[in-house]
Amino acid sequence: MTLNEIAKKMCAKGKGILAADESTGTIAKRFKSINVENLEKNRLGFRQTLFNASAMKDFIGGVILFDETIKQKTTLGSTIPELISKQGAIPGIKVDKGAKPLAGSNEETITEGLDGLRERLKEYYNLGARFTKWRAVYKIAEKFPSSQSIISNAHALARYAALVQEANMVPIVEPEVLMDGSHNIDKCYTVTTDVLNECYNQLHIHKVDLKGTVLKPNMIVPGSDCKDKSNSEEIAKKTLECLKKNVPSDVPGIAFLSGGQSEIESSKNLNSINRINDSNFLITFSYGRGLQASALSEFGKNQSNIEKIQKAFNHRAKMNGLSSKGEWSEDLEKESVA
Ligand code: 13P
């Protein structure tokens, strides 16, 4: 498959991406919230339960893994990438090493992980990965994001993407403008515009073939502490407008992060975007919390109740699959739970 074909398969209509690439530190937070000990066997247990779920075949085009997970075997003996491929999805891998304080602007971050990346990419390809992820993080505050953060993170994203294409994999380019703060939706729009423009400027300089990439952006939403709430239609209109203006049309697929929105909000907003999508972009989800929150809660109640954990995951995957086609509704949400 060409990189363009892989990118399109990851974002195919009716499907999206499961972001199961929480680092050991992030999954520790998730497990703490459900009183589960952060042990390797528990991390494997939760993840293989999701990867074995029936919704994988119908609604998941790709799965983003963490370094530990791509090297694990299921209790039945196959490797995790083999299990994912058997379910008809493409295995992928998070390759960044996290967001660290940015020297010169210590309250902001720069994503690290470029040193030795070429060698690590070879290893991941041999383990079955066909796409990768790198997340840059931008916060909104009075003086932030600084141009230093916007330029340095875009530069790192572009160097990452060029190395990934050299290794014959599709880079997911993830510039995440955080929802934290009291800024309004228009501020999110202007910051996201600046961030996307610098990303595509750097991707061009680094000769990245945009046809073999997937963009993973935030939606255009008000800050979580903003008093002016926006409805789903406004979020959809502003998000689509921002993407059409700032993302080159060569990019085949756009897969949103959920970024702290609730499961229902992230389905509803994706659905509203697809209902008015008059662009050529395939627009879908690449959710972590948006796909896993209910399943995680069931796992916390009883780790061995595979059926209940999978039922919760199947439901969210189906709802988001519908949203990727603009066919989700609140009624369907209720029917499926019953
Ligand atoms: P959320 O959907 O929970 O924001 O996670 C997506 C992700 O992969 C962030 O990098």
Output DSSP code: residue 73.
B
Q: Whose CA is closest to atom 8 on ligand 1?
A: 19
Locate the ligand 1 atom nearest the alpha carbon of residue 289 and give its number.
3
Q: Which residues contact 150 (CB under 8 A, 6 or more apart)?
A: 138, 194, 195, 198
Angle CA(105)–CA(108)–CA(111) in degrees, nearest 5?
A: 110
Strands 60-65 and 16-19: parallel
Could you give the CA distance from residue 117 to residue 131 in angstroms, rounded to a whole number? 14
For the cut 90, the answer to whether the pLDDT of residue 123 exceeds it is: yes
Of the candidates 181, 186, 187, 101, the one whose C-alpha atom is nearest the C-alpha of residue 149 is: 101
CATH number for position 127: 3.20.20.70
Is 289 a pocket residue for ligand 1 (Cβ < 6 Å)? yes
For the cut 70, the answer to whether the pLDDT of residue 338 exceeds it is: no
300-326 residue pLDDT tens: 999 999 999 999 999 999 999 999 999
Angle CA(15)–CA(19)–CA(22) in degrees, nearest 5?
A: 170
Per-residue confidence (pLDDT) for residue 38, from 0 to 100? 98
Is 287 a pocket residue for ligand 1 (Cβ < 6 Å)? yes
**Amino acid identity for residue 310 in this structure:** Q
Could you give the CA distance from residue 272 to residue 240 in angstroms, rounded to a whole number? 10
Q: How confident is the model at residue 335 (pLDDT cuts 50, 70, 90)?
A: confident
Based on the residue annotation, tell me whether 174 is a catalytic residue of this protein.
yes
Based on the residue annotation, tell me whether 97 is a catalytic residue of this protein.
no
Q: Does the residue 338 lie in any domain?
A: no
Q: Which residues contact 301 (CB under 8 A, 6 or more apart)?
A: 34, 308
For the cut 80, the answer to whether the pLDDT of residue 64 exceeds it is: yes
Is 258 a pocket residue for ligand 1 (Cβ < 6 Å)? yes
Mean pLDDT value of segment 206-231:
98
135-174 residue pLDDT tens: 999 999 999 999 999 999 999 999 999 999 999 999 999 9
Per-residue confidence (pLDDT) for residue 334, from 0 to 100? 87
* Through-space distance between the first and last CA atoms of the chain, rounded to whole angstroms: 40
Of the candidates 287, 202, 294, 291, the one whose C-alpha atom is nearest the C-alpha of residue 248 is: 202
Mean pLDDT value of segment 110-115:
98
Could you give the CA distance from residue 156 to residue 205 in angstroms, rounded to a whole number? 12
Domain count, the chain: 1
Per-residue confidence (pLDDT) for residue 289, from 0 to 100? 98
User: Where does residue 39 rank: exposed (0-12), middle (13-18), buried (19+ CB within 10 A)?
Assistant: exposed
Q: Does the residue 333 lie in any domain?
A: no
pTM: predicted TM-score of the whole model, two decimal places = 0.98
Q: How is residue 141 written in tokens?
A: 């505050």
Q: Does the residue 196 lie in any domain?
A: yes
Per-residue confidence (pLDDT) for residue 336, from 0 to 100? 63
Could you give the CA distance from residue 52 to residue 297 in angstroms, rounded to a whole number? 18
Mean pLDDT value of segment 117-145:
98
Q: Does the residue 335 lie in any domain?
A: no
Could you give the CA distance from residue 169 to residue 95 in angstroms, rounded to a whole number? 12
Q: What is the CA radius of gyration of the chain?
A: 19
Q: Does the residue 21 lie in any domain?
A: yes
Locate the ligand 1 atom nearest the alpha carbon of residue 260 and give its number.
4
Give the range of the structural domain holding residue 36, as residue numbers without chain letter: 3-328
Locate the ligand 1 atom nearest the alpha carbon of residue 259 and give its number.
4
In the chain, which ranges are E strands?
16-19, 60-65, 90-94, 99-102, 105-111, 131-138, 170-177, 214-215, 253-256, 282-287
Q: How is residue 55 written in tokens?
A: 């919704």
Cα 56 to averaged position of ligand 1 atoms, centre (Å) = 18
Q: Does the residue 131 lie in any domain?
A: yes
Angle CA(278)–CA(90)–CA(16) in degrees, nearest 5?
A: 30
Mean pLDDT value of segment 205-233:
98
Q: Does the residue 293 lie in any domain?
A: yes
Catalytic member of 22, 108, 174, 198? 174
184-209 residue pLDDT tens: 999 999 999 999 999 999 999 999 99
Q: How confident is the model at residue 19 (pLDDT cuts 50, 70, 90)?
A: very high
Could you give the CA distance from residue 237 to residue 222 in angstroms, rounded to a whole number? 13
Is 154 a pocket residue for ligand 1 (Cβ < 6 Å)? no
pLDDT over 70 percentage in the chain: 99
254-296 residue pLDDT tens: 999 999 999 999 999 999 999 999 999 999 999 999 999 999 9
For the cut 60, the answer to whether the pLDDT of residue 337 exceeds it is: no
Cα 87 to averaged position of ligand 1 atoms, centre (Å) = 22
